[in-house]
Amino acid sequence: MHTASPSLANVALAETLATQLEALLEAEFESLRAGAMDGIEDLQARKLVLLEQMSQVAPGQLVKEDDLPAEWLGFAQKARTCRQLHQRNEMLVTRKLDAVRGALAALQVSAEGLIDETYDRKGRLSWVGAPRRRTANNAYQDV
């Protein structure tokens, strides 16, 4: 990956791109929070374009903040904010995925240790493999 030198001519453009990325990350969070997954792919594509553009004009990770000219410190702060927003969005995605995995696990029927629910000939719910509960109506049927 190409790492740009911290040219002072690129400061305004880099800050503009970082501001756009910040707004996009906020929109991504709102979409994720609302469960509106329709626009997520578009947001991801736009985010990749912004990140590529930023990598062309802004100093990369190899440049230490101590070595940055003072003009770049505003951009560095915006970049940190964007990283925090990205991490927040990542945590939300992880929590939502965990919830989906939990729901899928609850829906999956496993042959080990679970009782299968079925219907008998009369259309009543019965549990295969479960001990039959004794009631006054069926107390002596198995005898």
pLDDT digits (tens, 9 = 90+) for 100-133: 888 887 776 554 445 556 667 777 766 555 555 5
pLDDT in the model for residue 130: 52
pTM: 0.66
Query: Is 115 strand, coil or helix?
Result: coil
> How much is the pLDDT for 25?
97
Domains and CATH numbers, the chain: 8-107 (1.20.58)
Residue 86: which of 52, 114, 122, 44 has the closest Cα?
44
Give per-residue pLDDT as tens, 66-77. 777 888 889 989
